[in-house]
Structure 1
Amino acid sequence: MITLARPSAAEAALRESGSLVVEPGAIEVAGRRRTYSEVRPAGLPQGAPLLLVFHGSNQNGRKLRAFSGHTFDALAARSGVRVVYLDGYKGHWNDARVSAGFAARRENYDDVAFTRAVVSRFTGDGRADPARVHCAGYSNGGQMVIRLLHEVPELFAGAAVIAATQPAPENFMAVGEVRPLPVLLVHGTRDPLVPYDGGMASMWGFRPRGLGLSFARTAAYYARRNGIGTAPVSGRREPGPRARGTSVETVDHREPGKPSVRAVTVHNGGHVVPNLTAAAPRLLGRTNLEFDTGRAMWDFLTSEAAGEARD
């Protein structure tokens, strides 16, 4: 189900009251100091769910928090989730695309090891439940999540990929165990950087980032990985006054006993994180301000966990 509700007054008051704790952190990985920011409700008990969030190109965790309208902060406040925003090296991640030419790749920064270390830190001392660790990424961060899903899927209970598509086979270097996991995918049809219909990702025609599959083929790829052979089911909601010329459609790949894949298309949407409060710069395309990515992601992933428990 797609949630289009505005934040509740209680949720807004919680965030404004200072009851949401923001705490910087650092950890050494392979002799390199890596940084992150933890956001959690005050008094959050041990064993809470953990969400790792990976920012886009030329961002860090702090910038993504603002860029995404604090949608994941709101999730922390509302649902008692410990959210950790990781910082890439010089604003980028060493993702699984052969074509990636970022400093993180050139200087061989091991972002998979960084992820392992952060998960180990928070689960090792009991702050997070190892069975409820999830990851979400936007753009370059979405590509990093794709790498993690292929190389260390055992760390996670589910994932969300925003404004990123599966690299074409000749542009993909990740290898590892196939482990079925629920995946939420979100993409705009008018994304100016990562083509919705597949092809060459680039910075407005410059700095090509390699070939990627279409959004539909990306969803089908993860459905096949999860062993889903049934036909997908789609649904669409009428846009409201804050849709800003966009509309939202979902396509669900579901089969009993198997983790689902949900593909959320934002028609006329851009290279953005849909949220309730902050529109991205115009050159990135339109931001739907009625679709709460954080809430939609968590509703999907927790419903998948509940279904698995019933099975």
Structure 2
Amino acid sequence: MRSFRDLALRARRWPGAFALALVLPLAGCATDSGGPDAAPPASGPSGSGPGTVSTTPSATGAPTSAPGVRGQLRVDGDVRQYLLHRPAADDGPRPLVVAFHGRGADAAELRAKTRLEKAAAARGMLVAFPEGLGRGWGAGTRATEQRPDPGLDVRFTEALIEHLVRTERADPERVYAAGFSNGGSMALRVAAERPGLLAGAASVSGQLATGDAAVEPTGPVPVMVVYGADDPVRPLAGLPSPPPDPEEPILPTRSARDSAAAFAAAGGAGEPVTREEKGYDRTVWRLGADAPDGDRPHGTVRLLVVHDAGHTWPGSTVPPPDGFGPVSKALDATDTILDFFADPDPAPGPGR
């Protein structure tokens, strides 16, 4: 992984990648029973131009210490919000997971579905749940009427990571992205386009965009794709010709396997190995299989196809919406993903 200094130098070449902002605590913390407030619009003509982040000072001038705080920062003229959870211990730089909710959902919904903040806190990890504009993410490269700037969310993610490295002592060499559905596709897009920014990424029920919105992996990064074999919303085989959506067009996607294979190819992986486990099939590509030992990237790309699972988060205790299919209990996606982030190149074993 590159050092933070290397990332900062690269940021000078990325429009709006890493600009500064401070946490602004909002009144109260979201609970599982209530959704977060919508991000307010940028204020008037003074909003920053494309590719910039405005600084918003906090009430105290320093990061807050209470867990489960809400923060906001201005990116490209939009005020963006996120929910941050901290582990109880504060013993130095901590890993950071950025978790993207699905389309039509929000940070609180993903937190309830995954219980990610609890599992991450037990591992000493920070978790940031950003809020998407219009409750969705620009997971593809095609401009639409609703998202005329398809790179906006990538720049927001960059800015949020830099901000949390600076204010929360997130370890820049242990930053990870995860997400569900449209949010899973967003996590894959960040990994594809900014492989030096992340130490790993995971997607549940999300695939890489293709067609005129195609996202292409550009370098080696450990990736895990978890997918329900019976997903009725975004089929395992992908949506190369999705139905139109009058509110926001649904982007065409590759299959789950082709999404994983694209990352494997970008990482110089060898041939995959597939094993049948209890309740799911696991396919593993080892990155840099043919590279010299000194140049070999660390990690793997993994595809877990979960049997008897729909467009759902395996292991969740939250009932899915009607029509999304069953939730598998054969796999705990939250623990599996966090274990993968901690060790993306483990010896074979359950869930790995």
TM-score interval for Structure 1 and Structure 2 normalised by the shorter chain? 0.7 to 0.9
> 1: distance between equivalents of 2:122 and 2:328?
21
For 2:163 and 2:251, locate their aligned partners in 1 and report how far apart those are by CA, in whole Å: 34
Q: Check conservation: 2:73, 2:79, Cα contact below 8 A.
A: yes
- Does the CA contact (< 8 Å) of 1:46 and 1:126 recur in 2? no
Shift of 1:97: 4.8
How do 1:32-47 and structure 2 match up within 5 A?
Answer: 32-47=78-93
Residue number in structure 1 paired with 2:190: 148
Q: Indicate the SS of the match to 1:26.
A: strand
Tell me the secondary structure at the aligned position of residue 341 of structure 2.
helix
Q: Which residue of 2 aligns with 1:234?
A: 275
* Equivalent residue letter for 1:58: G
1:66-81 equivalence runs, <5 A? 66=112, 68-70=113-115, 72-81=116-125
Q: Name the CA shift for 1:110/1:199 in 2 (closer, same or farther; >3 Å).
A: closer
Q: Any idea what the Cα deviations from partners look like across 1:40-61, whole Å, max 9, x if unmatched?
A: 2223333000000011001111
Matches of 1:57 and 1:295, distance apart in 2: 23
Would you say the 8 A contact 1:92–1:102 is kept in 2? no
CA shift at 1:126, angstroms?
5.5
CA 51–192 in structure 1, closer or farther in 2 if over 3 Å, else same? same
TM-score if structure 1 supplies the norm length?
0.79
Q: Which 5+ residue runs of structure 1 have no aligned equivalent?
A: 1-19, 238-246
- Secondary structure at the residue paired with 1:229? coil
Q: How does 1:8-87 map to 2 (within 5 A)?
A: 21-66=67-112, 68-70=113-115, 72-87=116-131
Q: Which residue of 2 aligns with 1:253?
A: 285
Count of aligned residue pairs for this structure pair: 272
Q: Distance in 2 between matches of 1:32 and 1:167?
A: 24
8 Å contact from structure 1 (residues 278, 289) kept in 2: no
Compare the two structures and name the one with the higher helix fraction: 1
Measured after TM superposition, the shift of residue 114 of structure 1 is 0.9
The answer to whether the 8 Å contact 1:277/1:289 transfers is no
Q: Which has the larger radius of gyration?
A: 2
Runs ≥4 in structure 1, deviation > 4 angstroms?
Answer: none
Instruction: State the partner residue of 1:132.
Output: 174
* Contact 2:308 2:328 survives alignment (8 Å): no
Q: Distance in 2 between matches of 1:226 and 1:151?
A: 13
How far residue 217 of structure 1 moved from its aligned partner, in angstroms, is 1.9
Q: Percent identity?
A: 30
**CA displacement, residues 162-196 of structure 1 (integer Å, 9 cap, x when unaligned):** 1112223x233446x72201000011111112111
2:251 aligned with 1:215: no
Say whether the 8 Å CA contact 2:314–2:328 is kept in structure 1.
Answer: yes
* Gaps in structure 2 of 5+ consecutive residues: 1-65, 290-295, 348-352
Alignment partner, residue 187 of structure 1: 227
1 or 2 for the larger relative contact order (CA 8 Å, sep ≥6)? 1
Classify 1:150/1:57 alpha carbon distance in 2 versus 1 (closer, same or farther; 3 Å).
same
Query: What is the distance in 1 between the residues matched to 2:131 and 2:330?
Result: 28
Matches for 1:157-168 after TM superposition, within 5 Å: 157-168=199-210
Say if 2:274 and 2:281, in contact at 8 Å, map to a contact too: no
> Which of the pair is proportionally richer in strand?
1
Contact 2:192–2:263 (CA<8 Å) still a contact in 1? no
- Other structure's SS at 1:76 match: helix
